[in-house]
Copies of this chain bind each other. A is one copy, B any other.
Amino acid sequence: MPSDSEPTIYKMQSEFCKTLTNPKRLEILHLLEKGEKSVTELAKLTNLRQANVSQHLAVMRHTRIIKERRFGNNVYYSLAHPKITQACNMIRTILTEQLIKDVKSTTSSWNE
């Protein structure tokens, strides 16, 4: 139960967006679009250490953006909500369009 009177939905949404705040987590999500993957596979594909991948997966498990399937020694992760991927892709599309526009006129602040 939230202790302040702030609208819960914005807090929820901000918590959710924190999941999308890390480039490597976004990369993992994008990899999972193509199908479920084990932790070790993800570690190789992203060039991260296994422990770090597990940390990122834990974050995304807690916000329930991904789900797990245990089989033998492995844990296979996949996306919980295809719609969330849509939203992410929508954002990427906007950013790409914007980037293309911006390159013409201004030096943007993206690369700082």
Please report which residues of chain A, range 26-78, place their CB below 8 angstroms from some CB of chain B when the two chains form the complex: 26-27, 30, 62-64
Give the contacting residue for A13; candidates B1, B84, B95; CB below 8 A.
B95
CA distance A63 to B91 in the complex (A): 12
If A13-B20, A13-B26, A86-B90 touch, does A81 touch B62 (CB 8 Å cutoff)?
no
Give the contacting residue for A110; candidates B12, B22, B25, B81; CB below 8 A.
B12
Chain B nearest Cβ from A112, distance in angstroms: 9
Chain B nearest Cβ from A105, distance in angstroms: 12
Residues of A near any B CB (own CB < 8 A): 1-2, 6-18, 20-27, 30, 62-64, 81, 83-84, 86-88, 90-96, 98-99, 102, 109-111
